[in-house]
Structure 1
Amino acid sequence: MKRYNLMLLLLSVIFFQACTQKQVKTTAAEEPKVWTSAQAKKWYNGEPWLIGSNYLPSTAINQLEMWQQDTFDTTTINRELGWAQSLGMNTMRVYLHDLPYQDDSTGFLNRIDIFLRIAKAHNIKPMFVIFDSCWDPFPKSGKQRAPKPFVHNSGWVQSPGREALKDTTQYARLEKYVKGLVGHFAQDSRILAWDVWNEPDNTNDSSYGKEELPQKAEHVIPLLKKTFEWARSARPSQPLTSAVWAGDWSSDTVLKPIQKLQLEESDVISFHNYDKPVDFENRIKQLERYNKPMICTEYMARPNGSTFEGFLPIAKKYHVGMINWGFVDGKSQTIYPWDSWQKKYTGEPPVWFHDIFRKEGTPYRAEETNFIKQMTGVTKT
C-alpha cells in the first residue's frame, strides 16, 4: 500500500511538472513580440506612400487644449484636415497626453474616436504619440496659458511631466493609461501606428533646461521599456515605434542605451531629421541595416535647409514615409524658429521655420503646396 501511494505521488509530481512546463511554453509562445522584418514589410506594403504633417489645431496651444472637453474643436479639425486631404496627405502625427485620460478616460477616448471619424472622412490615418519629453516639464490640466508672443511652442507640455517621471509610484497610473488607450483602439483600422515616446531623452536645454529632471535619461529608460511592454501587451494590430532623433546611429556599437532600446523595440523604424538633404539621405542609409520600413516623423525647417523640395524626392526613392513638423500657423507659433527662446522677434520671421498654411487656409508658399501635390499625385506632372 505504501509503495502504491508512493507511485501515485510520483506520477502526480511528474504530471504537475509536465503541465507546468506546457503552460510556461504556451505562455511564452503567446507573448507578443517585436515585429519581424517580414511582418513589418507586409504591413508597410499594405499602405500607400505615407505623407503628412505633425498636427495640432490652430486653436490649440498644446495637447491638453486640443483634447480637453472645453476646447476640443471639431470644426477647426475638420476644416484643417480637409486642407491636408487637398494636398494628398494620408496621415497625421498627433500627440495625446496622460492627463486627459486621468481626468476623464471615457470622455478622452470618445474624443479620440470623434477625431478618428473626422480623419477617416478625409482619408487620413493618424499616428498617435503616447508620451513626449519636449518643452514644459510641468503640465497641468484645465485652462492653458496664452501663447508668449513670437515664441516657438511656448505652451507645449511634456507627458508624463517631471513629477510623474521621477515618481515610480505613478507607474501604475501611466500603465493604466497606456493599456487603456492602446487596448481600446488595438484593432482599429483607422489608426496607422503608435509612436510610443517622442524624443524621450530630450533635455530642452535651450528652453526649460534649468527646470528639467537631472539625469533625465536614467529616469526615462525604464519607463520607456515598460511603455513598449504595456502597449504591446494590448496586442495592437498597428505597429509600435519611437524615433531616434539625435546623435550617431552609424553602427550598433555607438548607439546610446536609449537609442538601442528605441530601435530594438520598434516594429517599424522612425527617425527625425532637420538637416540638409545629404544628411537626410545619410541617415536613411544608416538605418537600412535594420531591414524594416522607415518613417521620418519630423523634418522641414526651412532655414536649416530641410525642405519639401529637398527631402521628398529622396524619401520617395527609398520609400520612406514622411511627416513634417507643422501644418497651420496657430497658437503653437512654430513659424518662429527654435532660437525665439533666446532671440526677440517682433513680427513674422522673414522665412517661416515650420508650417504650411496660414490660419485662413492660404498656403505660405503656393509653389511649395503645388510641389507636395505633385509628389502625392494630386497634380500630375
Structure 2
Amino acid sequence: MKKQIVYRGSLVLAMLLGVAIQVSAGEQWTAQKAQDWYGQKGWAAGCNFTPSTAINQLEMWQAETFDSATIDRELGWAQDIGFNAVRIFLHNIPWEEDKQGFLKRIDQFLTIADKHHIKVIMVPLDAVWDPYPKAGKQRDPKPHVHNSGWVQSPGVEILKNPARHDELKGYIQGVISHFKDDQRILAWDMFNEPDNMNRPAYEAAEPANKAQLSLMLLKKAFAWAREINPSQPLTAGVWMGNWELADKLLPMEKFCLEQSDVISFHNYGNLEDMKKCVQNLKRYHRPVVCTEYMARPQGSRFDPILGYLKEEKVGAINWGFVNGKTQTIYPWDTWTKNYTAAPKVWFHDIFQQDGTPYDAKEVAYIKSVTLKNEVSSAKR
C-alpha cells in the first residue's frame, strides 16, 4: 500500500515545487500492468536449471563448488535448443555465510545466462525434500534415487518456529534489493511448493501444520518483497489439482492466486490435464507461466505440451536439463522402490553430461517450437 509522509514545514515547499513528498511501498501489479509486462517480454520457454555438478542449491552456490564453467557450457546447450529462460533456486544459508560472495556469484550466473540470451526466474524459498540443510560439503548422491540431496530453504528448524521467520527478512530483502532493477531477471518466484509434505521421503520430519507455517512465511516474504518494490513481478505457484472451483481453493492456493503479479503453476499430467489447468487459471486475467512440467512416464511430454503452451501464450519451464547429481532421470518412486539401473524412459532431463540428447527426436521437436515463429497445431 502506498504511504505518503509529509514532514513538518515541507508541505508548502512541496506545493511550490509542484512535487509530492512520499515513500511508496510496492503494491500488487494490476492485471493490465502484468499483461503489458508479458507483452514486452514475450513467450518464455526453458527449464528448471541446476548444473549437473551440483546435488542441490548449496552445492550450486557455495564458493567452493560454484561451477561457472559447467553453467556456461550447459546454458549454451539451452540456448542451442531455443530456451530463453531458466528457473533457479537460491538458498538462505549462502547469504548467511557470505552475503557479498553470494551476491557476486548470483551476478556471475546472471552474466553467463545473459551471454546466452536467457532470462532468469529466481526462487528464494523452497519447501521440497530434505528439511535439514547444512552448510559445507554436501553428501554424495544416493545411487538411483531422485533428488537424493536436495534441501529445503529454510530448514524445518526455522520454519516450525514462527518467531524465527523474521530471520529471513534480511536475506529476502537483501537479494531482491540488489537485483530489483536487473533486466536479466524475469521474475521472483517467492516460495516453491510451500505446503509440500514430502511424502514419504521426509514426512516424519515435517511439522503437522506445515501448510499454516508456510503460509505465514509466504505472506511475510511477499510483504518484504513488496517493500523493496522490484521492477520484476512476484509470483508463487500453485501445484496440486487444477483449481477449477474458486470457492474450493485451499488458503495457500487462494493467497498465491490472488496476490501474485503473474500466475504460475505446476502440472505433471498429460495434455488434457494441462489444458484444464491453463483454462482455469486464465480466469485471473494475468499472464500464466507453467514453472514445472514434463515427466515422461506420466504422459507429461514436450510433444505436444510445449506446442500447446506456446499456442496459449503460457510460459513453459520444464523440470530438469542435464542428467547429473540430482538424478532426476529417475522417478519419484525411487524413494520407495529399489532401482539398480537407469530407467529406460527418463523421468526428467534432456541431455547427458556430454551434451548428447536423451532423445534426438524430442530435441528436434523442442527446436521446432522454440526456434520458429509459427507452431503447427498441437495434437488435440
| TM-score calculated relative to the size of structure 1 | 0.92
Q: Which residue of 2 aligns with 1:340?
A: 334
Alignment deviations for residues 327-354 of structure 1 (CA, whole Å, 9 cap, x no partner): 0000000000000001111111010000
Q: Match of 1:45, SS?
A: helix
Take 1:168 and 1:147, find their aligned partners in 2: how far apart are those partners? Answer: 32
CA deviation after TM superposition for structure 1 residue 302, in Å: 0.1
Query: Residues 51, 275 of structure 1: CA spacing in aligned structure 2 closer, same or farther, 3 A cutoff?
Result: same
**From 296, 303, 306, the counterpart of 2:300:** 306
**From 289, 301, 313, the counterpart of 1:295:** 289
Take 2:372 and 2:153, find their aligned partners in 1: how far apart are those partners? Answer: 36
CA deviation after TM superposition for structure 1 residue 251, in Å: 2.5
Q: Which residue of 2 aligns with 1:140?
A: 134
Matches within 5 A, 1:193-232: 193-232=187-226
Take 1:325 and 1:235, find their aligned partners in 2: how far apart are those partners? Answer: 29
Take 2:335 and 2:287, find their aligned partners in 1: how far apart are those partners? Answer: 35
Alignment deviations for residues 225-250 of structure 1 (CA, whole Å, 9 cap, x no partner): 01011112111000000110003511
The question of whether the paired residues in 2 share the 8 Å contact of 1:241 and 1:268 is answered with yes
Take 1:133 and 1:348, find their aligned partners in 2: how far apart are those partners? Answer: 27
Q: Which residue of 1 aligns with 2:97?
A: 103
Q: Match of 1:201, SS?
A: coil
The question of whether the paired residues in 1 share the 8 Å contact of 2:82 and 2:371 is answered with yes
CA deviation after TM superposition for structure 1 residue 282, in Å: 0.7
Q: Which residue of 1 aligns with 2:249?
A: 255
CA deviation after TM superposition for structure 1 residue 27, in Å: 9.3
Take 2:98 and 2:352, find their aligned partners in 1: how far apart are those partners? Answer: 33
CA deviation after TM superposition for structure 1 residue 379, in Å: 10
Take 2:364 and 2:225, find their aligned partners in 1: how far apart are those partners? Answer: 38
The question of whether the paired residues in 2 share the 8 Å contact of 1:248 and 1:255 is answered with no
Matches within 5 A, 1:1-381: 30-377=24-371
Take 1:238 and 1:380, find their aligned partners in 2: how far apart are those partners? Answer: 28
Q: Match of 1:113, SS?
A: helix
Take 1:119 and 1:378, find their aligned partners in 2: how far apart are those partners? Answer: 21
The question of whether the paired residues in 1 share the 8 Å contact of 2:162 and 2:213 is answered with no
CA deviation after TM superposition for structure 1 residue 171, in Å: 2.4
Q: Which residue of 2 aligns with 1:11?
A: none
Take 1:267 and 1:343, find their aligned partners in 2: how far apart are those partners? Answer: 40
CA deviation after TM superposition for structure 1 residue 252, in Å: 1.8
The question of whether the paired residues in 2 share the 8 Å contact of 1:87 and 1:378 is answered with no
Sequence identity of aligned pairs in percent? Answer: 53
Alignment deviations for residues 269-313 of structure 1 (CA, whole Å, 9 cap, x no partner): 000000010010011011111000000000000000000002112
Take 1:217 and 1:234, find their aligned partners in 2: how far apart are those partners? Answer: 26
The question of whether the paired residues in 1 share the 8 Å contact of 2:125 and 2:154 is answered with yes
The question of whether the paired residues in 2 share the 8 Å contact of 1:57 and 1:66 is answered with yes
Aligned amino acid, residue 96 of structure 2: Q
Q: Which residue of 2 aligns with 1:5?
A: none
CA deviation after TM superposition for structure 1 residue 170, in Å: 2.4
How many residues matched?
361
Query: Residues 337, 162 of structure 1: CA spacing in aligned structure 2 closer, same or farther, 3 A cutoff?
Result: same
Take 1:101 and 1:205, find their aligned partners in 2: how far apart are those partners? Answer: 29
The question of whether the paired residues in 2 share the 8 Å contact of 1:64 and 1:97 is answered with yes
Aligned amino acid, residue 259 of structure 1: E
Q: Match of 1:126, SS?
A: strand
The question of whether the paired residues in 2 share the 8 Å contact of 1:370 and 1:379 is answered with no
Take 2:242 and 2:208, find their aligned partners in 1: how far apart are those partners? Answer: 23
Query: Residues 167, 308 of structure 1: CA spacing in aligned structure 2 closer, same or farther, 3 A cutoff?
Result: same
- Greater per-residue helix proportion: 1
Take 2:182 and 2:23, find their aligned partners in 1: how far apart are those partners? Answer: 24
The question of whether the paired residues in 2 share the 8 Å contact of 1:139 and 1:161 is answered with yes
The question of whether the paired residues in 1 share the 8 Å contact of 2:122 and 2:187 is answered with yes
Take 1:74 and 1:313, find their aligned partners in 2: how far apart are those partners? Answer: 32
Take 1:206 and 1:325, find their aligned partners in 2: how far apart are those partners? Answer: 21
Moved segments of 4+, more than 4 Å = 26-29, 378-381
Aligned amino acid, residue 156 of structure 1: W
CA deviation after TM superposition for structure 1 residue 258, in Å: 0.5
Q: Match of 1:316, SS?
A: helix
Aligned amino acid, residue 329 of structure 2: I
The question of whether the paired residues in 1 share the 8 Å contact of 2:242 and 2:280 is answered with no
**Residue ranges of structure 1 left out of the alignment (5+ in a row):** 1-14
